[in-house]
């Protein structure tokens, strides 16, 4: 499931495509990448918690 940053980034990128605004397209790509990084960090944190909480 996409997170807020990913959705926001896709919207900005689409708006940049429609308006021919390269800066807005780049912002959208950065937002999408931010969302991906947050997801990966969250997944890694969950795995660490799982390992630490083993009984």
- For position 54, what pLDDT does the model report? 83
Select from 45, 34, 43 the least CA-distant residue to 4.
Answer: 34
Rounded Cα gap, residues 14 and 24, in angstroms: 9
Q: 10: helix, coil or strand?
A: helix
List, for residues 1-55, the tens digit of each pLDDT value.
Answer: 678 999 999 999 999 999 999 999 999 999 999 999 999 999 999 999 999 988 6
pLDDT at residue 4 in the model: 93
């Amino acid at each position: 499931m996409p997170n807020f940053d990913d959705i926001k980034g896709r919207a900005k990128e689409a708006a940049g495509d429609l308006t021919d605004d390269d800066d807005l397209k780049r912002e959208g790509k950065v937002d999408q990448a931010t969302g991906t990084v947050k997801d990966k960090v969250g997944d890694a944190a969950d795995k660490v918690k799982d390992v630490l909480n083993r009984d």
